[in-house]
């Protein structure tokens, strides 16, 4: 039996493929390389000494999906493929809805056609909007403030409707908090295009000397030191959450959402300090205005995933920082050498 992993050459996908291969699963990856390259999976093969079939193609290509489902004995799908930059999503919303929403509908239609009903979806903590309290539980109200977030929420709603319409479906909606870090080998990691939007890749590029200073978006939030607080989770822990969710689907009924986080929040300045310690490099920063759309504080109540999936994050902040730095310093240009 084969797991189809869409977007498996990307940051979280490549780490998940590695863990799947190590767990002796057959893996088929479909990726259009719009935000990745085949190099990540070449390295995954080297690290695991296992093979993975990689198809270059698009989830929006129904004929291609039908061919893949005909040729391979796919019995479940982990769906990472999509666009993920919040700022960009406000500029080109149609591309976001086409890739993230229509692309997913296409995939679900072909799954249904081939009687494949096990689906693990990359959702995001962004669906909790600006929470009234923390820690955030799965039953908190959902909302979105930008096209990216709305595309995730729309797919969640589609999945809930689908599961309600047909009891064959078994769907896990995984709401990631803030994935950071890299595989401990330093061979695979996050390789953002251009100027990173997210905090950790930006800090890493400052530490390596590619950028002058970090702009800290606001120090007047109601948090420990005024800077934004987030629940950072090691990407390998997150990858393992997918294996747990996939294994649990056989026993699960319908569509269930799980928050994948550590349950701990760290401020931007705490992250800067921790990275300086791990890299032994200074990370200069300046305080600038708040970034529109940012919230003060966001961290998970991670107890539901622990109880139901027997999953919990085990890697601490120091490991996240050390692994980020190892990846960044060994691969200053990412996969481009």
**Residues with active-site annotation:** 148
Compute the distance between CA of residue 47 and CA of residue 31 in angstroms, rounded to an integer: 20
Does position 25 bind ligand UD1 by CB under 6 A? no
- Do the Cβ atoms of 183 and 22 come closer than 8 Å? no
What is the enclosing helix (H) or strand (E) of 233? strand 232-234
Cross-strand partners of 6:
30, 79
Largest Cα–Cα distance in the chain? Answer: 56
> Among residues 68 and 81, whose Cβ is nearest to ligand NAD?
81
> Among residues 2 and 122, whose Cβ is nearest to ligand NAD?
122
Does position 294 bind ligand UD1 by CB under 6 A? yes
- Do the Cβ atoms of 29 and 73 come closer than 8 Å? no
Compute the distance between CA of residue 238 and CA of residue 154 in angstroms, rounded to an integer: 23
Q: In this chain, which of 6, 124, 328, 331 binds ligand UD1, going by CB under 6 A?
A: 124
Q: In this chain, which of 22, 38, 185, 197 binds ligand UD1, going by CB under 6 A?
A: 197
Contacts of 316 (CB under 8 A, 6+ apart): none
34 binds, among ligand NAD, ligand UD1, none (CB under 5 to 8 A by kind): ligand NAD
Cross-strand partners of 2:
26, 74
In the complex, the smallest distance separating the C-beta of residue 154 from ligand NAD, rounded to whole angstroms, is: 13
33 binds, among ligand UD1, ligand NAD, none (CB under 5 to 8 A by kind): ligand NAD
Which residues of the shown chain bind ligand NAD in the complex (CB under 6 A)? 6-7, 9-13, 30-36, 58-60, 80-84, 99, 103, 122, 124, 176, 179
89 binds, among ligand NAD, ligand UD1, none (CB under 5 to 8 A by kind): none
């Amino acid at each position: 039996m084969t797991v189809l992993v869409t977007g498996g050459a990307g940051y979280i996908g490549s780490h998940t493929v590695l863990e799947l291969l190590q767990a002796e699963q057959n893996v088929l990856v479909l990726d259009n390389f719009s935000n990745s390259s085949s190099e990540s999976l070449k390295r995954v093969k080297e690290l695991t000494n296992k093979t993975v079939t990689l198809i270059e193609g698009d989830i929006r290509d129904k004929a291609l999906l039908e061919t893949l489902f005909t040729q391979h004995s796919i019995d479940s799908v982990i769906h990472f493929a999509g666009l993920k930059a919040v700022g960009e999503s406000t500029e080109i919303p149609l591309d976001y809805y086409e890739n993230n929403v229509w692309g997913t509908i296409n995939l679900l239609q072909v799954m249904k056609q081939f009687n494949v009903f096990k689906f693990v979806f990359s959702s995001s903590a962004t669906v909790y909007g600006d929470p009234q309290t923390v820690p955030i539980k799965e039953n908190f109200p959902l909302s979105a403030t930008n096209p990216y977030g709305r595309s995730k929420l729309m797919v969640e709603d589609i999945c809930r409707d689908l599961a309600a319409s047909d009891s064959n479906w078994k769907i896990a909606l995984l709401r990631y908090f803030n994935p950071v870090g890299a595989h401990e080998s330093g061979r695979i990691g996050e390789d953002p295009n251009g100027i990173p939007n997210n905090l950790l890749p930006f800090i890493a590029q400052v530490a390596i000397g590619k950028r002058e200073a970090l702009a800290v978006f606001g120090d007047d939030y109601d948090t420990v030191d005024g800077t934004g607080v987030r629940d950072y989770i090691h990407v390998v822990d997150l990858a393992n959450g997918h294996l747990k969710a996939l294994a649990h689907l056989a026993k699960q009924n319908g569509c269930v959402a799980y928050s994948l986080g550590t349950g701990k929040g760290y401020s931007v300045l705490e992250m800067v300090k921790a990275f300086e310690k791990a890299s032994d490099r200074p990370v200069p920063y300046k305080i600038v205005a708040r970034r529109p759309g940012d919230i003060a504080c966001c961290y998970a109540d991670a107890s539901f995933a622990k109880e139901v999936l027997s999953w919990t994050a085990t890697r601490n902040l120091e490991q996240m920082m050390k692994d980020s730095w190892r990846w960044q310093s060994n691969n200053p240009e990412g996969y481009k050498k």
